[in-house]
Structure 1
Amino acid sequence: MVASNIEIEVVYALPQRQELVRLHLPDGATVRDAVIASGLLGKYPDIEIDGPNKLGIFAKLVKADTVLRDRDRVEIYRPLIADPKAVRKKRADEGKVMKKGGGAIDAA
């Protein structure tokens, strides 16, 4: 019996560019296997599979032990610099402050 292979991509987006690696892996390979085989861990030591970096397949978060299917696109996400909820709350609070005490509008 011949072992079948799957073709996948591993992507890591940086602020100025995107790294994309195409791989052929044995059927049954996991997301972790793909990230390791991509060589991106050696190239970018800030990537931590079990650390702050989340992993996904076609923009859907998955765990590192998720089994891949043929033509999957594994995505390595960088940690967020700021919490989007906190940023929205801050903007909303600043908007409220700016609206308070508004004077009368001059009619020309």
Structure 2
Amino acid sequence: MRFEVAFGRLDEQALLTVESAEPLTAKQAIEASGILERFPEIDLSANKIGIFGKAAKLDALLAEGDRVEIYRPLIADPKEARKKRAAEGKTMRKGGGEKK
């Protein structure tokens, strides 16, 4: 069976392949990939993970071809950022254009 493990930061990204004769959990695939040694800042007790963009738990059993993604913590809380923009009187329009 083949799985992928992905992680990225601003200056470097990695997509590593893991092969196993049997199904693995997300945590087992992450550990087998060697990504924890390559990116020591990853803390599986703090970083969230997902499988193909959907939130997942470390004990999730992977299917053939699954990609486990390790997410970085958010720099800013999206709700707080929206509140700040609203307080400053800025508006957002669909498509990112300026309000006319």
Q: TM-score, normalised by structure 1?
A: 0.78
Q: Which residue of 2 aligns with 1:103?
A: none
The letter of the residue matching 1:79 is: P
Which secondary structure state, in structure 1, belongs to the residue aligned with residue 20 of structure 2? strand
- Answer yes or no: is 1:65 the counterpart of 2:59: yes
Give identity over the alignment, percent. Answer: 48
Q: Which residue of 2 aligns with 1:49?
A: 44
Q: TM-score, normalised by structure 2?
A: 0.84
**Aligned mates of 2:51, 2:32 — CA distance in 1:** 16
CA RMSD of aligned residues (A): 1.2
Structure number with greater Rg is 1
**Aligned mates of 2:82, 2:10 — CA distance in 1:** 22
The letter of the residue matching 1:76 is: I
Q: Which residue of 1 aligns with 2:30?
A: 35
Per-residue CA deviation, residues 26-79 of structure 1 (Å, 9 max, x unaligned), is 42310000110111111111101112x100000000000000000000000001
Moved segments of 4+, more than 3 Å: none
Question: 1:17, CA displacement in angstroms?
Answer: 3.2
**Aligned mates of 1:17, 1:44 — CA distance in 2:** 10
Which secondary structure state, in structure 2, belongs to the residue aligned with residue 10 of structure 1? strand
Which runs of no fewer than 5 residues in structure 2 stay unpaired?
A: 91-100
Question: 1:81, CA displacement in angstroms?
Answer: 1.0
- Answer yes or no: is 1:90 the counterpart of 2:74: no
How many residue pairs match? The answer is 90
Which secondary structure state, in structure 2, belongs to the residue aligned with residue 33 of structure 1? helix
Which runs of no fewer than 5 residues in structure 1 stay unpaired?
A: 1-5, 97-108
